[in-house]
Structures are given as C-alpha cells and as structure tokens.
A and B are shown apart, each in its own frame.
Chain A
C-alpha cells in the first residue's frame, strides 16, 4: 500500500452471479476530491460502501487513513462523514433534533447551528424529516455527514433530487470542504458535477474502471477538445466527415452528427463549403467543448445517463 489516504487494490464484490465490482484499483491523495462517475448499476455505490465499511469485499485490499473499514473502529467512524445514496433518517425526528442527536454520537464536531445556516435548513428546524422535500432531505443528509467535521467525506450522489440552485449551493460547500483540507470521495452520474468539483475522476462501467485522470486529461485523451454538432436534412455517410483534415472522430447521436476536432474553425469551414455541393442543409449547428459524457460515449459506445 502507498502513502495515499485511501488505497484500493484489486477490489471485487459480487452479488450472486453479478459482479458489481470487478477488480478495481485506485488511490486518493489527502485533500483531493475524487469522483467516481458512471451509469446506474456500474458499481459506484458498492465501491463506496466497501470503503465506508458497510460491505465486505470478496477480494482486494482497502485502507482508509490506515484503517481497514470493515473493522468498524470508533476512531474510524470519528474520521469519516457519510452521506448514503438513500436518505436514511428517523421519520419522526425534527431537523434540529437530528443534528443534535448525530452530533452527540461523536466526541468532536461542528455546532449544529452552523450547519443549519450552511445548508439553509434554519426555517425547517422544527419540521419532521418525513415532511421534508427530496432536496431538503438530501441537504439534511449532507449536514449530518459533516456534523463530526470529518477528515474524509463519502458522498454518494450528493445532489440527486435537488433543484439547480440547491445543487450549486452544495457544490460550493463541497469546494469549501476541500479548502479546509478534507478528502472527498463522491459518486455521481452528473458529468457537470464531476467536471466542476473533482480533481480526478474514475470512470466506471460494469464494475471496472475504464478511465482515470483529471477531467482535462480524460477529455484530452479523446484527441480533440471541441465538438461540432449539427443535424442534416438528408441522411449522409459519416465517412464524408471523417475524411476532413483535423477531424479525430465522428459519431451519430440520435439524429445529430458530432464531429470531434482540435481545430473547430478549420473543420467547420470545410463542412460549410462542402454542404452546398452535396445539397446538404445543416441545422442546429453549434460548437462546444468536449466533456466527460463524450469520454464515456467514446469508451463504451453508450450515453452516461
């Protein structure tokens, strides 16, 4: 094992005949935000739950700050903060009571008042957990994950069910946690979330890591960081666009053509000059940056979500 704060080697976890995690290796440096990006059922939650100590791996070694998670030592639990994928909280507890109760479980931590403000739950302090909206429950769950001021935070799809405003607030809080030196492992299937927050990302599919690196590295590995997207009036062979100098890849996504290139202006001019001679009419034309969704499609041939 190396000096990383989280170290995973040869992790395997099966449920019956299904191999949810199939030989995963990665390590996370202290203070890093590490993302696990993948579609539903890719093995994200199983991996995180093994790191939290909730599940026993079938094979492999896992160390979290020197602890073997499954041994469930109090010192380990004092060190970690966890937000589970499904908000698990007493139905008849009020928001303020939940924060007080979870704080009382730990020897150190934040004052519940500060988290009420941070997660915009002050006006819900007397509300029962069962009466909260999906986004409010998720915010409460996040507040409970941070109540012990943990050194390592595990967030399993932290913004699921949140509106865009609440999602951005949570992103700011996660970024603040990094500034405080916390190490964060988050799973998500929102590529924008992964791109915006993570220092490094493991793209996972069918229990295996299929790419690992910083968002920029992963996109750069496509061989092109821009994409030209458009629809055509008549069906056309994709090879027509593949022949254009500077084009690294061409894909058909539903009825849209996506052309990847590092030289978007040159390639676009070529397409536009060729179109009239071939009686092609382009519509919904746009140039954008390639992103992790494109990386996933490139690697698997499928969309992420």
Chain B
C-alpha cells in the first residue's frame, strides 16, 4: 500500500510538470465556467447543471487523453518492461498511476464544487456524501475507460486517434452541452447507453433535485458495470510491452 501511494505521488508530480495536463485539468474547466456563465449564468440553476458537466468532461478527458495516452506511451518507451524487472511490477505501477490521476481529478472536482457553493452561491439539495460517492464512482469508471483504450491500441498515436474518435460523441450524447430533449428520439435512446450521460445526470439530480442514493441506483450501477467491463477487458488485453 505504501508503494502504491509512493507511485501515486510520483505520478502526480509528473502530471503537475506537464503544462498540457495542468491546463486541461485545472484551468480549462474554469475558463469554460466563466465563458458559459457569462452567457447563461443569469438563468437559475444554470451553474448547478454546468458544473457536473465540467466534472464529467475533465474525468472523461483525464481517462481518454491522460490514462490511455500515458499508459500507451509508457508501454511504447519500454517503461513497463523496465518496471517489470523490479519487485514493484508494472501492474502495481499502473494502479499507483491511476490512483495519482484519481487524486488530481478529485482535487479539481472539489475546487469546482467549492466555486459553485461559495462565490456562485448554489445549493446542493441532496446529500454531499451521495454527490461525492457519485463523483468518485464516475471518475473510476472514466479512468478505467482510459485503461481499456490503452489495452487495445499499440502506441500513443493510436491512443490519440481513438481518444479523438470517442470523446466528442460521448460528450455530445451526455446531454451536458446540448439538452437531450432537443435531439431526435433515436439519439435520446442512444444517450441512455452512455456512461457519461448517467454520470452527469446523477450529479445534476443530486444537486438540483435532491435525489438520494436510492433514486440514483440505476446511474451508479451503470457506471459500476462500465468500470467492471473496462477493467476486465484491460486485464485481459493489456500488454506491458
């Protein structure tokens, strides 16, 4: 466990040294918050709907562009091969690395929630613990999706290509940017299969409608099933190089 946290801390250090990661994790969501807020912020409850979307977006991009590209790059450059020759093993390193990314993403989410509650004076109608649980489950699901992509691509370039192909449709179907009720019926049905949609809607329902854990069991279950499927496939398909 100590080794896992040591790896996590080192991974956080690497991520903080990467300007692109820093920008997309900590600056870009606040830029979007200010940008969209300046247009629609006057409508009641807008920020309470926007911030779950930003939390999900950063988690998804952290999974797809962070985890997938990061792991594929480590494999491509032989880092996993080298680690597999130590008692630590590359599998342990991957777990520690995911933990590091998870901690960083949680910090970003907490910062967004603090901004929502304090300066923007939005109320969380449901339980804060239920909200945090959903945020955690969603983050784990999105990170595991990155692991799955890293398992099916050969290298970093492949991860970028796949990432670009899946990120936009998933965000489009999430209902975060465009309300689903303005989209054709078949797309609305398609969205129900998107874990990102369930992630965002669960957070929005807890914040805006005060939903309980029991009321959000379906969304949480879908996220958990998505996480389990991604993890099982990653475990089976991931090559350490």
Contact = CB atoms under 8 A, between A and B. Distances in A.
Contacts of B122: none
Interface stretch (B82-90, B105-113, B123-131, B223-231): B82-90
B3 to A, nearest CB: 7
Interface residues on B, range: 20 to 34
B73 to A, nearest CB: 8
B8 to A, nearest CB: 12
Contacts of A72: 84, 89
B177 to A, nearest CB: 32
Contacts of A82: 82, 85
Interface in B81-117: 81-89
Interface stretch (A14-22, A29-37, A73-81, A112-120): A73-81
B87 A91 contact: no
A82 B17 CA distance: 28
Contacts of A104: 3, 6
Contact of B78 (A74, A78, A80, A86): A86
Nearest to B7: A101
A88 interface: yes
A105 B84 contact: no
Given A84-B78, A86-B78, A92 B85 contact: no
Contacts of A54: 81, 84-85
A158 interface: no
Interface in A144-184: 144, 148
B166 interface: no
B85 A52 contact: yes
Interface in B137-192: none
B31 interface: no
A148 B87 CA distance: 11
Given A84-B81, A88-B82, A106 B87 contact: yes
B77 interface: yes
B10 A53 contact: no
A199 interface: no
Contacts of A80: 85
Interface residues on A, range: 20 to 34
A97 interface: yes
Given A84-B81, A93-B14, A74 B87 contact: yes
A102 interface: yes
A101 B8 CA distance: 12
Given A97-B10, A104-B3, A104-B6, A89 B82 contact: yes
Contact of B17 (A78, A86, A92, A148): A92
A105 B78 contact: no
B81 A88 contact: yes
Interface in B59-87: 74, 77-79, 81-87
Nearest to B16: A92
A186 to B, nearest CB: 16
A92 B87 contact: no
Given A88-B77, A91-B77, A53 B82 contact: no
A105 B6 CA distance: 10
Nearest to A81: B85
A92 B14 contact: yes
B87 A78 contact: yes
Contact of B79 (A53, A77, A88): A88
Most buried by A among B13, B17, B87: B87
Contacts of A144: 82
Contacts of B86: 77, 102, 105-106, 148
B99 to A, nearest CB: 15
A107 B88 CA distance: 11
Contact of B88 (A91, A97, A105): A105
A107 B87 CA distance: 9
Given A104-B3, A104-B6, A105-B88, A84 B82 contact: yes
Contacts of B82: 82, 84, 88-89, 144
A105 B17 contact: no
A155 to B, nearest CB: 13
Interface in A36-89: 52-54, 72, 74, 77-78, 80, 82, 84, 86, 88-89
Which 8 A-B residue pairings sit nearest by Cβ, starting from the closest? A88-B78, A88-B82, A105-B86, A105-B88, A74-B87, A92-B14, A82-B85, A77-B87
9 contacts: A53-B85, A86-B78, A88-B78, A90-B14, A90-B74, A101-B6, A102-B86, A105-B3, A105-B86
Interface of B: 3, 6, 10, 13-14, 17-18, 74, 77-79, 81-89
Given A88-B78, A90-B14, A105-B83, 14 more contacts: A77-B86, A82-B82, A84-B78, A84-B82, A88-B77, A90-B79, A91-B77, A97-B10, A101-B6, A101-B10, A102-B86, A105-B88, A106-B86, A106-B87
